[in-house]
Structure 1
Amino acid sequence: MDLTRLRLLVELERMGTMAAVADVVGMGTSAVSKHFAVLEQEAGVALLAPDGRRVRLTPAGHRLAGHAVDILARVDAARAELTGEGEPVGRVDLVTFISVAPVIVLPALRRLKDRYPGIEVRVIEHEPDEALEALQSGGADLGLVYTYSLVPRRFPGALTLRPVGGEPLLLSQPSGAPASSRPMTRRRLRGLADASWIANSRGSDEDELVQRMCAGAGFAPRIRHRIDNLEVAEQVVAAGMGVGVTPKLAAATRRGVVHSPLGELGGIRRVYLAGRTGGWAWRPIALLARYLTEAAAEVLDPPEPTAPGA
């Protein structure tokens, strides 16, 4: 049903005559009458009945006018929300990788909820490959993804990226190993040529990162453990059973583990917000993105000015 005709019906119930409705809306009486004739065809029932020289609403007309009030109010509320005039409401599906959840996602969601309780956020945990698939298929609205400077990721052209920061990578070793606050050198890294290295089970970017980093130091790593959970990987290191690469945010202080910066040998992990092009204008998504960006700025290094490789 046409919204204009529903508005005319509401005005007729309020004002009582076709002439009064015509004056209010700036139409001729005949034009208003034609709109009502079409509305009756759309509704499939009589909405008006003759009453002398005037018309009156039938019971069905009154019933539809009541529905019209609610329909028009909802439409006005939706327009206000989308144009930024009303309180934003709606659900956003956020896909994220686990290591940023405690330090970026949860602080952002708490602040968002305090300020905009009408926005509901559903959190989905995925690594970047699965996250990008979910974003493209519509399984998620907004995502936090990462790429390594040594292993640039190709991002789908259907998605728009916004950098939120970066973090250095650290070498995790058992506490008996010498630690240093200075970046790792190739000579020091070559000393771990016979170590048991930890990579992930997916054969993805993290695996490639270890391979390229060690190749840069002149050796092929002996990968003995394939572990996806960074917390478990750190426990393996603490037990003296291996060494591995850990992003700074995931490198919690743990007895039995020492961390050394990898510097240029390991590069950095860049973090991005990703979303379908065109979806960023919806206020719930825009607000969530803003709060995530603010939370990221508190724990990550500033983003680089250059965009990731396509």
Structure 2
Amino acid sequence: MDVHRLRMLLELSRLGSMREVADTLGTTTSSVSQGIAALAHEVRTPLVEPDGRRVRLTPAGRRLADHAVTILAAVESARLDLDPTSEPTGVLRVAGFASAIRRSLLPVVEDLRRTHPGIAVQVHEYEPVEAFDLLARDDVDLALVYDYDLAPAEWRADHDVVPLWELEWGIGVPTRDRHLGLADLADRDWIVNSRNTADEDALRTLASRAGFVPRVVHRIDSLELVDDLVVAGRGVGLLPRGRASRRGVSVVRLRDPEVRLRAYAVTRRGRDSWPPLRAVLERLAPG
């Protein structure tokens, strides 16, 4: 159904005269009459009937006019929602890894609560592979993901990517072994992420440069559990430097090369004009 014709019908139900509808909408009585007739043809039922020298809505016309109130309100809401100059409102779905949610997203959510209370942010914790899948299916609007400089991500052609920040990583070892270098750890059991391959790829690149193949034994998602395994002497693995690790864990600095985790905000190409998403991206972007 043509929304302009629906507006004519709604105004006719309120004003009772095609001439008044024409004056209100800035058109002619003939155009209103033709619009109502075309709408009746679209819905396959009469919408008006003669009432002396005027017309009145049939029962079907009154029911459709009632629907028109809701339909036209929804159309206007959609227009405002997509208008880049309007006050942003709507539900923004974000999938991301825990560090980016804590470091980047939560401060933005707090700021939006004050500046744009019409934006509701839904937060889902996922590793990059999972977040990319959700983004591709349009199940989320924004993905907060990471890669390593030694294992760069391969971006899709329909991705818009905003770099956020970088963080140096090292090798988490028992404190008693903090003097050891990477090659000294060749015979240890290694711990990698259970839900993403990026840190394992970075580890294998590091190890190949040091002349060994790492023996990956444990696959763990939680950094706190990695700490526990390191303290228990069950393995070593990549951990962020500067993080408060469990007592008994030291994070050995790597040089030549360093390992740096790089965080990004990723959206589907062309979606960043949606006001709620744009408001979040503007606050996430560094500097």
Identify whether the pair has TM-score above 0.5, normalized to the shorter chain: yes
Q: Report the aligned-residue RMSD.
A: 2.7
Secondary structure, counterpart of 1:265 in structure 2: coil
SS of the counterpart of 2:271? coil
Q: 1:135 maps to what in 2?
A: 135
Q: Could you tell me which of 255, 258, 277 is aligned with 2:250?
A: 258
Q: Does 1:93 align with 2:97?
A: no
Amino acid at match of 1:290: E
Q: Does the C-alpha gap of structure 1 residues 222 and 2 become closer, same or farther in structure 2, counting only changes over 3 Å?
A: closer
Unaligned runs of 5+ residues in structure 2 are none
* Residue 181 of structure 2 corresponds to residue 188 of structure 1: yes
* Cα displacement (A) at 1:219: 3.4
- Contact 1:169-1:263 at 8 Å conserved across structures: no
Identity %: 40
What's the CA shift string for 1:247-286, capped at 9, x where partnerless? 247x324211122332442321111111211222222222
Greater mean alpha carbon deviation, residues 275-284 or residues 170-179: 170-179
Alignment of 1:1-310 (within 5 A): 1-178=1-178, 188-201=181-194, 204-248=197-241, 251-291=243-283, 293=284, 297=286
User: Would the alpha carbon gap of residues 263 and 107 (structure 1) be closer, same or farther in structure 2, given more than 3 Å must change?
Assistant: farther
SS of match in other structure, 2:176 = coil
CA distance in structure 1 between the partners assigned to 2:192 and 2:14 by the alignment: 72
| Maintained 8 Å contact 2:86/2:275 | no
Does structure 1 retain, via aligned residues, the 8 Å contact 2:100–2:263? no
Q: 1:101 to 1:20 in 2, by over 3 A?
A: closer
Q: Could you list the per-position Cα deviations for residues 19-59 of structure 1 after superposition, in whole angstroms to 9, with x for gaps in the alignment?
A: 23223333332222111112222344433222322223334
Shift of 1:96: 1.1
Instruction: Pick closer, same or farther for the CA change 1:9–1:260 going to 2, 3 Å.
Output: same
C-alpha change, 1:37 and 1:220, in structure 2 (3 Å) is closer
Alpha-carbon distance in 2 for matches of 1:81, 1:268: 39
2: distance between equivalents of 1:28 and 1:201?
68
Moved more, 58-67 or 160-169: 58-67
- Structure 2 letter corresponding to 1:258: S
CA contact (8 A) 1:239 1:256 kept: no
TM-score relative to the length of structure 1:
0.80
Q: Is the 8 A contact 1:174 1:242 kept in 2?
A: no
SS at match of 1:268: strand
Distance in 2 (CA, whole Å) between partners of 1:12 and 1:227 is 66
Equivalents in 1 of 2:46, 2:196: separation in Å? 68
Asked if 1 retains the 8 angstrom alpha-carbon contact of 2:81 and 2:90, the reply is: no
Instruction: Return the offset for 1:246.
Output: 1.0
TM-aligned CA deviation for residue 143 of structure 1: 0.5
Query: 1:203 offset after TM fit, Å?
Result: 8.0
